[in-house]
Amino acid sequence: MASIRYSIDGFREALRHEPSFREDLLFAVALVPFAIILPVNAVSTALMIASLFLIIIVELLNSAIEWTIDYLRPEHHPLAKRIKDMASAAVFLSYLNCLAIWAILLWPGTGVWKRLAEKFASS
């Protein structure tokens, strides 16, 4: 059970010290309910939610890498910058992945918007 406690501690530290993590978490918290109410199949819903979780996971890894580099090499160094930039690129790619998944699943030709309008019109 210690591993769970360490995970919770890491989550708290990210919330406390990482503005980007808080923004990513807010983004996910805002979109998960939307993914759940959309009239798409369970696999599509799971893909949409998983793409949001991936952003959070990659952001945690990015933050851990940045903190490690800052700890090991507090002075500026070109390799430290390269490492941090690569980790940041991974976060960017996770956002592109999320955008691609949501765009493909919600593309106008899929009929999702029509089904959503019908769902709320009948309520």
Fold of 2-113: Helix Hairpins (1.10.287)
- Known catalytic residues are 59
Q: Distance (Å, rounded) from C-alpha 117 to C-alpha 9?
A: 43
Residue range 1-11, pLDDT digits in tens: 899 999 999 99
Model pLDDT, residue 68: 97
Whether 54 has a binding-site annotation, put simply, is: no
Whether 85 has a binding-site annotation, put simply, is: yes
Q: Are 93 and 59 in contact (CB under 8 A)?
A: no
Residue range 41-90, pLDDT digits in tens: 999 999 999 999 999 999 999 999 999 999 998 899 999 999 999 999 99
Whether 113 has a binding-site annotation, put simply, is: no
Please state the domain extents for the chain.
2-113
In single-letter form, the type of residue at position 1 comes to M
Q: Are 59 and 24 in contact (CB under 8 A)?
A: yes
